[in-house]
């Protein structure tokens, strides 16, 4: 039997302004708000056989850096940002096959609202919706929901575990054949096939049933991103794909092997969760052209340095303006992104170096070059790691960058039989599990 060597492709981004102040920006800064940029982009991704577009979310306007919102707003890091969930509906209406994934937090959404929204969206997308299960990080967003601070890190995951068990029960509160639509008897739904769930956990309670009909996929496809011990256990129990921020083949392989071992421990088949590695390939007509593009990405002016520091501050909720830029990063702790904070110590010897590296930390030196060179490197990485694919992310999102990937890199991957050229199945989950 010929081995299927294909791997999956996805794109990770926000519902905010694409790069708006560049020679390739077009009129992006003024036009993203109604979703038209994202629709255009999703159609390009579908043409290139991507499995999914995944929209992150966070609901804060950070004021950690220098105690003000100045830098974050100036660069549009966390805000302005629109709610990605309604966007999923119009994205799906403009495409036919690709999966659309939205982020919703178990710390903020009442479970019933989330379950009902996702079920409705699974209908609207004809079975192409996914849920990025986050517990949120940091206290600022929590304050928008009436909390003084966010729940402690590991407890958030314990609560998320109960939350997921609850929403799964809600998604099963209707049996798959509950819809009768029997013209003879006039009976629309079989009431014996719709059940309360009467869920009473430590933190959440819900009676059920959902008001929605069983959806094409039954449940959204589950995604997750946490890298801590608790985060990895949570992913291993429930996720069907994972966003992995690890960089370098060795760390990527360690992450995937670890998740697969944890899945076996929880009684799951490891092939039912795809680990997707975040990366920002840099493509040029020639190796030299790609190096020039990389150099541009690596060069920060004073303004960008502040933006990078404000981004780090928002992420960790530690004010980086109070740190000596030319000294090593001191020992710090956070209730926010623990894995991100830990990874910073490897990004440079001084705070300044860390801020510079952060600016482009998804660029892997091996994935800089001509389409052939980058395809070679991706192929080799996948052979070494064992699977399952890549998630493209860039902070300098333009149509020109999207075309570098969809019209230059992907055709080369397709010629080698490494990524899909068409979609076999109707449902997002079935395509994701195909290889
Ligand atoms: C690549 C990546 C993407 C993430 N996307 C989101 C997001 O969109 N919204 C959010 O609230 N948290 C997001 N997170 C945060 C995680 O869901 C998680 O809460 C955080 O990483 C802390 O968990 P950990 O300590 O297990 O890593 C993301 C994390 C990573 C690494």
String of DSSP letters for 161-180 = HHHHHHHHHHHTSB-TT-EE
Tell whether ligand 1 has an atom less than 6 A from the beta carbon of residue 84: no
From residue 184, give the alpha-carbon distance in Å to each of 72, 181, 191, 213. 62, 9, 17, 21
Tell whether ligand 1 has an atom less than 6 A from the beta carbon of residue 105: yes
What parts of the chain have a pLDDT lower than 70?
A: 1
Task: Name which residue sits closest to atom 17 of ligand 1, judged by CA.
Answer: 134
What gap in Å lies between CA 226 and CA 230, rounded to an integer? 8
Task: Name which residue sits closest to atom 14 of ligand 1, judged by CA.
Answer: 225
The minimum-distance atom of ligand 1 relative to the CA of 243 is: 1
Residue 1's pLDDT is: 65
Residue 369: strand pairing partners:
283
Tell whether ligand 1 has an atom less than 6 A from the beta carbon of residue 136: yes
Sheet strands (E) in 196-285: 199-200, 205-206, 221-224, 241-244, 274-279, 282-283
Helix (H, G, I), strand (E, B), or coil: what is residue 392? strand
What gap in Å lies between CA 380 and CA 152, rounded to an integer? 40
Residue among 14, 78, 107, 137 to mutate when testing ligand 1 (max atoms within 8 A of CB) = 137
225 CA from centroid of ligand 1 (Å): 5
247 CA from centroid of ligand 1 (Å): 16
Residue 221, C-beta contacts closer than 8 angstroms, at least 6 positions apart: 99, 101, 129, 130, 131, 240, 241, 428, 429, 432
262 CA from centroid of ligand 1 (Å): 19
Residue 232's pLDDT is: 96
Instruction: Identify whether the C-beta of residue 188 lies closer than 8 Å to the C-beta of residue 178.
Output: no
Residue 337's pLDDT is: 73
Overall fold of domain 8-286+363-432: TIM Barrel (3.20.20)
* Tokens coding 183: 């013209």
Residue 149, C-beta contacts closer than 8 angstroms, at least 6 positions apart: 139, 142, 143, 335
Residue among 131, 139, 223, 337 to mutate when testing ligand 1 (max atoms within 8 A of CB) = 337
132 CA from centroid of ligand 1 (Å): 9
Residue 83's pLDDT is: 98
Task: Name which residue sits closest to atom 23 of ligand 1, judged by CA.
Answer: 226
140 CA from centroid of ligand 1 (Å): 15
Domain boundaries, the chain: 8-286+363-432
163 CA from centroid of ligand 1 (Å): 17
Task: Name which residue sits closest to atom 24 of ligand 1, judged by CA.
Answer: 226
Instruction: Identify whether the C-beta of residue 182 lies closer than 8 Å to the C-beta of residue 147.
Output: no
Residue 259, C-beta contacts closer than 8 angstroms, at least 6 positions apart: 232, 235, 236, 242, 270, 273, 275
Tell whether ligand 1 has an atom less than 6 A from the beta carbon of residue 101: no
Task: Name which residue sits closest to atom 11 of ligand 1, judged by CA.
Answer: 136
Task: Give yes or no for a cis peptide into 432 (omega within 30° of 0).
Answer: no
373 CA from centroid of ligand 1 (Å): 31
From residue 389, give the alpha-carbon distance in Å to each of 278, 288, 371. 9, 27, 17
What gap in Å lies between CA 414 and CA 428, rounded to an integer? 20
Tell whether ligand 1 has an atom less than 6 A from the beta carbon of residue 151: no
Task: Name which residue sits closest to atom 4 of ligand 1, judged by CA.
Answer: 225
What gap in Å lies between CA 380 and CA 154, rounded to an integer? 36
Task: Name which residue sits closest to atom 5 of ligand 1, judged by CA.
Answer: 56
Task: Name which residue sits closest to atom 6 of ligand 1, judged by CA.
Answer: 56
Tell whether ligand 1 has an atom less than 6 A from the beta carbon of residue 227: yes
Residue 75's pLDDT is: 84
Instruction: Identify whether the C-beta of residue 66 lies closer than 8 Å to the C-beta of residue 323.
Output: no
399 CA from centroid of ligand 1 (Å): 26
């Amino acid at each position: 039997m010929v081995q299927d060597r294909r791997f999956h492709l996805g794109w990770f981004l926000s519902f905010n302004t694409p790069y708006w102040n560049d020679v390739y920006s077009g009129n992006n800064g003024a036009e993203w708000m109604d979703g038209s940029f994202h629709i255009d982009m999703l159609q390009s991704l579908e043409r290139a056989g991507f499995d999914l577009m995944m929209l992150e979310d966070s609901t804060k306007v950070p004021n950690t850096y220098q105690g003000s919102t100045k830098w974050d707003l100036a660069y549009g890091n966390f805000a302005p940002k629109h709610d990605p969930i309604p966007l999923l509906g119009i994205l799906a209406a403009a495409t036919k096959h690709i999966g659309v994934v939205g982020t919703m937090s178990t710390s903020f959404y009442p479970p019933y609202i989330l379950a009902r929204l996702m079920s409705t969206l699974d209908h609207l997308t004809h079975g192409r919706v996914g849920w990025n299960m986050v517990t949120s990080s940091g206290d600022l967003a929590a304050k928008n929901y009436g909390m003084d601070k966010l729940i402690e890190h590991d407890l958030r995951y314990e609560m998320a575990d109960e939350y997921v068990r609850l929403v799964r029960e809600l998604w099963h509160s209707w049996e798959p054949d509950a819809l009768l639509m029997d013209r003879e008897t006039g009976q629309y739904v079989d009431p014996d096939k719709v059940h309360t769930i009467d869920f009473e956990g430590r933190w959440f309670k819900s009676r059920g049933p959902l008001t929605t009909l069983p959806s094409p996929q039954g449940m959204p496809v589950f995604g997750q991103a946490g890298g801590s011990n608790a985060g990895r256990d949570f992913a291993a129990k429930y996720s069907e794909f994972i966003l992995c921020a690890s960089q370098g083949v060795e760390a990527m392989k360690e992450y995937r092997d670890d998740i697969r071992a944890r899945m076996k421990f929880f009684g799951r088949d490891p092939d039912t969760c795809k680990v997707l590695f975040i990366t920002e390939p840099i493509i040029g007509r020639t190796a030299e052209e790609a190096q020039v593009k990389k150099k541009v990405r690596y060069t920060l002016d004073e303004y960008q340095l502040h933006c990078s520091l404000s981004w780090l501050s928002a992420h960790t909720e530690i004010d980086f303006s109070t740190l000596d830029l030319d000294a090593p990063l001191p020992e710090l702790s956070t209730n926010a992104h623990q894995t991100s904070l830990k990874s910073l110590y490897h990004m440079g010897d001084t705070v300044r170096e860390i801020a510079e590296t952060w600016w482009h930390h998804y660029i892997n030196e091996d994935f800089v070059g001509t389409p052939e060179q980058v395809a070679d490197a991706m192929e080799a990485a996948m052979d070494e790691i064992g699977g399952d694919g890549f998630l493209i992310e860039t902070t300098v999102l333009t149509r020109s960058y999207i075309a570098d990937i969809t019209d230059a890199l992907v055709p080369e991957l397709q010629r080698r039989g490494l990524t899909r050229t068409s979609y076999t199945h109707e449902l997002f989950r079935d395509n994701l599990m195909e290889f």
